[in-house]
Amino acid sequence: DQQVKQNSPSLSVQEGRISILNCDYTNSMFDYFLWYKKYPAEGPTFLISISSIKDKNEDGRFTVFLNKSAKHLSLHIVPSQPGDSAVYFCAASVGSGYSTLTFGKGTMLLVSP
């Protein structure tokens, strides 16, 4: 039973456009969410997080939106750059201080010039 789902295994976007990566979760106890980026042969790199007390968090080109009623979050990258091409993982936990993360399977983003 997958508690964190990323239903799109891949996404292709042109450079300069917006990339929208989606994530759904089923466990209503999750209240802290993170996005990681992973290049081949490297470990995941933390991108941005959001607590359930917020519905939006922004950091430069990256914005995460949280819709608690729909149990849905999304990562927006604007403008997309070729260097953003990577696998993006959505992760969730119960509490920001709780250490166990539940990950989705990832979405591979390809940004073409």
Phi, psi of 46 (to 5 degrees): -65, 135
Q: Does 108 bind another protein (CB under 8 A)?
A: no
Stretch 67-96: interaction string toward another protein, x if CB under 8 A? ----------------------x-x----x
Nearer to another protein, 18 or 46 (CB): 46
**Strand pairing category for 72-77 and 86-93:** unpaired
Q: Which one among 28, 43, 69, 70 touches another protein, defined by CB under 8 A?
A: 43
Q: Which one among 26, 46, 54, 67 touches another protein, defined by CB under 8 A?
A: 46
Distance of CA 43 to the CA centre of its chain: 16
- Could you count the other beta carbons within 10 Å of the beta carbon of residue 21? 23
